[in-house]
C-alpha cells in the first residue's frame, strides 16, 4: 500500500518554469510537498524525496495523511 501511494501521488504533481529558469513542482493536496531545481528531472527527483520524507514524518507523528487515488495510509485505531 505504501508503494502504491508513493507511485500515485506524483501523478498529481504540477510543474512550472520560474522566471529564473528553474523548475518548481508541487503535489496539490499534500501540504508542504514541493521542490525547486535547475532541471525538470532534478525537480521530479527532489519532489519524490520530499514526498517520501513527508510520508515518513506524517506517519511517525500520527498525522492523518490525505487519500490519494483511493489509497489510504491511515492507521486504524482501536477504540475501547
CB 73 within 8 A of CB 59: yes
pLDDT band at 80 (very low <50, low <70, confident <90, very high): very low
Q: Which CATH number fits domain 2-61: 2.40.50.140, 3.30.160.250, 3.30.300.210, 3.40.50.1220?
A: 3.30.160.250
Query: In 10 A of CB 43, how many CB atoms?
Result: 23
Domain boundary assignment for the chain: 2-61
At residue 78, the pLDDT reads 43
pLDDT band at 79 (very low <50, low <70, confident <90, very high): very low
**Residue 52, phi then psi, degrees to nearest 5:** -65, -40
Per-residue pLDDT tens digits for 4-60: 999 999 999 999 999 999 999 999 999 999 999 999 999 999 999 999 999 999 999
Whether residue 1 is predicted with pLDDT greater than 70 in this model: the reply is yes
Amino acid at each position: 500500500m505504501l508503494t502504491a501511494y508513493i507511485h500515485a501521488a506524483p501523478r498529481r504533481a504540477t510543474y512550472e518554469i520560474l522566471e529564473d529558469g528553474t523548475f518548481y513542482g508541487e503535489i496539490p493536496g499534500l501540504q508542504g510537498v514541493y521542490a525547486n531545481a535547475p532541471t525538470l528531472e532534478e525537480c521530479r527527483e527532489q519532489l519524490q524525496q520530499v514526498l517520501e520524507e513527508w510520508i515518513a514524518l506524517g506517519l511517525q507523528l500520527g498525522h492523518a495523511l490525505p487519500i490519494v487515488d483511493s489509497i489510504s495510509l491511515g492507521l486504524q485505531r482501536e477504540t475501547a
